Amino acid sequence: MKGYAAYARVQPTNDSHRDLEYKVLGQVTGALIEASVEGSQLSERYDAALWNEKVWHVFRCDLSSKENKLPDDLKASLISLAIWVSKETCRVLDNSAGLDGLININRQIMAGLNSRAQTT
Q: Which domain holds residue 20?
A: 3-119
**Single-letter code of the amino acid located at 110:** M
The answer for residues whose C-beta is within 8 angstroms of residue 119's C-beta and 6 or more apart is none
CATH of the domain at 13: 1.20.120
Task: Say which residues have a Cβ less than 8 Å from residue 65's Cβ, sequence separation at least 6.
Answer: none
Compute the C-alpha angle 56/47/103, nearest 5°.
50
Q: Are 8 and 17 in contact (CB under 8 A)?
A: no
Q: Which residues touch 44 (CB under 8 Å, ≥6 apart)?
A: 31, 34, 35
Say how many domains are in the chain.
1
Q: How far is CA 95 from CA 33, 67, 90, in A?
A: 16, 37, 9
pTM, rounded to two decimals: 0.83
Q: State the Cα–Cα distance between residues 103 and 25, nearest whole angstrom.
A: 10
Q: What is the mean pLDDT of each run of 10 residues along the chain (120 residues)?
A: 47 72 97 96 96 97 94 96 98 96 97 72
